[in-house]
Structure 1
Amino acid sequence: MDASRRRAVAVRLGGPAAALVCSLALTTGCSGQTTASAAKERQEGSTAQAAAPRAASDLQDDYQKVINDVLPSVVQIQAGADLGSGIVYDDQGHVVTNAHVVGEERAFRVTTAGSEQPQRARLVYSYPEQDLAVIKLDRPPDGLKAARFGDSAKVDVGQIVLAMGSPLGLSSSVTQGIVSATGRTVSEGRGDGGTGATLANMVQTSAAINPGNSGGALVDLDSRVIGIPTLAATGIGGADSQAPGIGFAIPASMVKTVADQIIEDGKVTDSGRAALGITGRTIVDDRFRPAGVAVVEVTGGGAADEAGIEAGDVITRLGDTDVTTITSLAEALAEREPGDEVKVTFTRDGDERTAEVTLGKQ
């Protein structure tokens, strides 16, 4: 073999061998710089591994602090044969809950935190239009703890929340999730005790909400109630096919507005909800599809009356929103405020007309 060929062979054999030696040097730390880098990586890895359980432990501590702070303010309500939840509103024994929890009952048995015997309570006022009610304990026990309510405007999507109540009669139960969305408009059914109300600005959450959770507390990690769990979404099969991870809570701001008025005046004097001032019903077309809301009665001096809308008219549009059912009309109104001016489209004797309406209060 000549010299040039011998050199070529040496190059081919030497390449992989050199790479192998270099690789071994990196793993064993044969240079000072490589050793320092490896040590730094090991230290950072150890720090990250140690931080992970600490972070989990800190979050668990946060959960337990919130539970210890708020759960004593969550009660179980027995209304006839039905069970629901409620929140202690003040130290006078007022408890806020859902209107569909109290139903048609006027007297209740309320089990407070740390109490073995239910307390008697009576209805102060129920406001089905917002699915809220206030009851009052006859003899508030010593040490009754009122919950703290947060600011609904500061509720953010992704925020960690806990739902507290008595699902399926299991008192003092807690589930966790996040705020999935805000500003939802949701309509209740009238079956299974629902009020049929259309509720605006609802907080959507992934925290599990089951029958019995209604009227309880949706709480942030600052131990503040940000809403009252009220509804769980259902699938195509209806109430028997609950959609997991989709629940809704009435925002704390509306809860406080309604509860304060009930406690002060014995009723709701200003709901903050827009109203058209009519009684209506859904009508269908010749193919039995919903086609609008027929005005059955007009409230004298109300918004519709002032705008010239009459009984017998069929409302088909509110602003830019099509109206096909009484529920769709309620949802369109839920997006508005009293005093808003809106164009209402309707038919009268087959002719389409419009009217500028200044919305009133519900």
Structure 2
Amino acid sequence: MDASLRRSRLRRSAPVLTAVAIAALLSGCSQSGPAAPKGSPSPSASNVQSSGSVTDSLQSDYQRVIKNVLPSVVQIDASASLGSGIVYDTQGHIVTNAHVVGNERTFKVSASGSSSAVTARLVSAYPEQDLAVIKLDSVPSGLKAARFGDSSKVEMGQIVLAMGSPLGLSSSVTQGIVSATGRTVSEGRGGGGTGATLANMVQTSAAINPGNSGGALVNLDSEVIGIPTLAATDPDMGGSAAPGIGFAIPVSMVKTVADQIIKSGKVTDSGRAALGITGRTVVDSGYQPAGVAIVNTNPNGAAAKAGLKPGDIIVRAGGTDITTITSLTEALAADKPGQKIQVTYNRDGVRKTAEVTLGEV
């Protein structure tokens, strides 16, 4: 995909201007032919009635889901930015994006329909997966935790709703479908980003705008299936939004990280594969990216144990050609610690291959 990615946290220093345009298109049609018996519904009337029934049913589903889930979606107000979060449990833990909390440790949290904010403090952030948990200083009466779904049941074509505070408009809802699953995307470090490479992301057509970060991507069973995190931008249009292309962290990773942070105050088992190296992108004679040079290795890391050493240039990992640090990170993002992969590298102009048992970040 020839698009870059932007985080959907809203910086408070920027003014917010919202324009809403509504257009209505009315059309009519007539049909000629034999007249229907008196009192019989015309085919067009039957179609309209059937269509109306389906529309009413779907609208009822939307309204039911919004009523069930929106009370569990909050707005997180930091000193320099704002984003969204999800009530994780009745003890006051809120899960959100690491780039929403940034380097701050205290926040104001507003629930849907509430006119007052509750203070909250950071429990821990895990920038490697762009997730964080904060905890309310006091738990409001009737605090409702969200219900989380099953990542294995998320499929293309499912209708989803994105809930959060886009452009600071709290308790907003947009609608779309699951466009794809299993995407691997990388976010930049500029503008407060974590630079994380995120695997198994859910791609959605539901609109994700600044302020949506950390909110809820929800199915029609009122289950959270992901946390909206990134929106694509089109570099050919000056970095403006690429409509209908957004990404959410899958609920399986959300629960894995949040449970560890709540239990231990940190992530103790990342589940993310690593080679145990520090590397840099190298270029060929045409100044094109041509691989990742190993600068140093962890003596107990996967690469060192497999015989790789500083100066080697990695050009392939598993089934993926490697040209840059980002491509290497993305190739490893879908792998697991303990998994064995073939790594192809150049040493002193000679191409070699090693079987590497991956370590953990």
**1:334: which partner in 2?**
333
1:174-323 alignment runs, 5 A limit: 174-237=173-236, 240-323=239-322
CA distance in 1, matches of 2:295, 2:309: 9
Three-state SS of the structure 1 residue aligned to 2:47 is: helix
CA distance in 2, matches of 1:39, 1:284: 78
Three-state SS of the structure 2 residue aligned to 1:90 is: coil
**1:90: which partner in 2?**
89
Three-state SS of the structure 2 residue aligned to 1:261 is: helix
TM-score, normalization by structure 1: 0.87
Contact 2:96 2:214 in 1 (8 A): yes
Structure with higher Rg: it is 1
1:116-195 alignment runs, 5 A limit: 116-195=115-194
CA distance in 2, matches of 1:347, 1:80: 49
CA distance in 1, matches of 2:166, 2:112: 16
- Aligned letter for 1:326? I
Contact 2:183 2:199 in 1 (8 A): yes
Structure 1 residue 316 displacement after superposition: 1.0
Structure 1 residue 318 displacement after superposition: 0.6
More divergent stretch after superposition (45-54 vs 198-207): 45-54
Cα displacement string for residues 95-137 of structure 1 (whole angstroms, at most 9, x for unaligned residues) = 0001111111111111122322221111111111111111111
Contact 2:274 2:360 in 1 (8 A): yes
Three-state SS of the structure 1 residue aligned to 2:332 is: helix
More divergent stretch after superposition (171-180 vs 276-285): 276-285
Structure 1 residue 283 displacement after superposition: 1.6
- Aligned letter for 1:53? G
**2:104: which partner in 1?**
105
**2:76: which partner in 1?**
77
Structure 1 residue 75 displacement after superposition: 0.6
Contact 2:302 2:359 in 1 (8 A): yes
**1:27: which partner in 2?**
34
Q: Which runs of 5+ in 2 are unaligned?
A: 1-32
User: Would you say 1:344 and 2:322 are equivalent positions?
Assistant: no
**2:21: which partner in 1?**
none
Question: Greater relative contact order (Cα 8 A, min sep 6): structure 1 or 2?
Answer: 2
Q: Quick one: structure 1 residues 210 and 289, their matched pair in 2 at CA, closer, same or farther if it must change by over 3 Å?
A: same
Q: Quick one: structure 1 residues 237 and 47, their matched pair in 2 at CA, closer, same or farther if it must change by over 3 Å?
A: closer
Structure 1 residue 351 displacement after superposition: 2.4
Cα displacement string for residues 14-37 of structure 1 (whole angstroms, at most 9, x for unaligned residues) = xxxxxxxxxxxx9368xxxxx6xx
Three-state SS of the structure 2 residue aligned to 1:331 is: helix
TM-score, normalization by structure 2: 0.87
- Aligned letter for 1:339? G
Three-state SS of the structure 2 residue aligned to 1:27 is: coil
**1:21: which partner in 2?**
none
Three-state SS of the structure 2 residue aligned to 1:105 is: coil
Structure 1 residue 44 displacement after superposition: 5.6
- Aligned letter for 2:281? T
- Aligned letter for 1:153? S
Q: Quick one: structure 1 residues 73 and 279, their matched pair in 2 at CA, closer, same or farther if it must change by over 3 Å?
A: same
Over the matched positions of the two proteins, sequence identity in percent amounts to 69
- Aligned letter for 1:60? Q
- Aligned letter for 1:155? V
Structure 1 residue 238 displacement after superposition: 7.8
CA distance in 1, matches of 2:167, 2:314: 42
**1:48: which partner in 2?**
47
Structure 1 residue 45 displacement after superposition: 4.9
CA distance in 1, matches of 2:237, 2:88: 33
More divergent stretch after superposition (188-197 vs 215-224): 188-197
CA distance in 2, matches of 1:28, 1:53: 24
Contact 2:149 2:251 in 1 (8 A): yes
Three-state SS of the structure 1 residue aligned to 2:121 is: strand
Cα displacement string for residues 202-221 of structure 1 (whole angstroms, at most 9, x for unaligned residues) = 11000000011010000001
Cα displacement string for residues 11-67 of structure 1 (whole angstroms, at most 9, x for unaligned residues) = xxxxxxxxxxxxxxx9368xxxxx6xx987x46654432222121111111111111
Contact 2:78 2:104 in 1 (8 A): yes
CA distance in 2, matches of 1:238, 1:292: 30
CA distance in 2, matches of 1:314, 1:79: 43
CA distance in 2, matches of 1:28, 1:343: 73
Contact 2:112 2:170 in 1 (8 A): no
Q: Quick one: structure 1 residues 351 and 149, their matched pair in 2 at CA, closer, same or farther if it must change by over 3 Å?
A: same
Cα displacement string for residues 152-177 of structure 1 (whole angstroms, at most 9, x for unaligned residues) = 11111111100000111111110000
CA distance in 1, matches of 2:252, 2:238: 28
CA distance in 2, matches of 1:297, 1:126: 27
